[in-house]
Amino acid sequence: MIETFLQPLPHGISLSCRAAGERGRPVLMFLHGFPEAAFVWDFMLAHFARPENGGYRCVAPNLRGFEHSDAPFEVSAYRPKHLVQDIAALIALETLQPGGQLACLVAHDWGGAVAWSLANQLPHLIVKLAIVNSPHPGTFLRELKSNPAQQAASAYMNFLIRPDAEQLLAQDDYRRLWQFFSSAKGDQPALWLTDEVKSQYRAVWAAGLHGGCNLYRASPLRPPRPGDPAAAALDLPHSMLTVSVPTLVVWALDDIALPPVLTLGLDAYVTHLTLHTVPAASHWIVHEQPELLADLLQQYLLSNK
Residue 188: per-residue pLDDT: 63
Confidence of residue 191 (pLDDT cuts 50, 70, 90): confident
Q: For the residues of 45-95, what is the DSSP string, one character each?
A: HHHHHSGGGT--EEEEEPPTTSTTS---SSGGGGSHHHHHHHHHHHHHHHT
| Alpha carbons 9 and 63: distance in angstroms, whole number | 13
pLDDT, one tens digit per residue, over 36-60 is 999 999 999 999 999 999 999 999 9
- CB of 14 within 8 A of CB of 3? no
| Alpha carbons 249 and 139: distance in angstroms, whole number | 13
> Beta 3-8 vs 27-31: how paired, if at all?
unpaired
State yes or no: pLDDT of 186 exceeds 80. no
The overall average pLDDT reported for the chain is 96
Q: For the residues of 209-264, what is the DSSP string, one character each?
A: SHHHHHHHHT---S--BTTB-GGGG----GGGT-B-S-EEEEEETT-SSS-GGGGT
pLDDT, one tens digit per residue, over 236-285 is 999 999 999 999 999 999 999 999 999 999 999 999 999 999 999 999 99
| Least confident interval from 75-79, 94-98, 103-107, 255-259 | 94-98
pLDDT, one tens digit per residue, over 121-177 is 999 999 999 999 999 999 999 999 999 999 999 999 999 999 999 999 999 999 999
Rounded to two decimals, what is the model's pTM?
A: 0.97
- Could you tell me the residue ranges of all domains in the chain? 3-302
Cα–Cα distances (Å) from 108 to 25, 52, 252, in that order, read 23, 25, 11
Residue 97: per-residue pLDDT: 82
Residue 182: per-residue pLDDT: 78
Helices and strands (H, E) in the chain, number of each type: 11, 8
State yes or no: pLDDT of 189 exceeds 70. no
User: Mean per-residue pLDDT for 219-233?
Assistant: 94
CATH topology of domain 3-302: Rossmann fold (3.40.50)
| Alpha carbons 226 and 293: distance in angstroms, whole number | 40
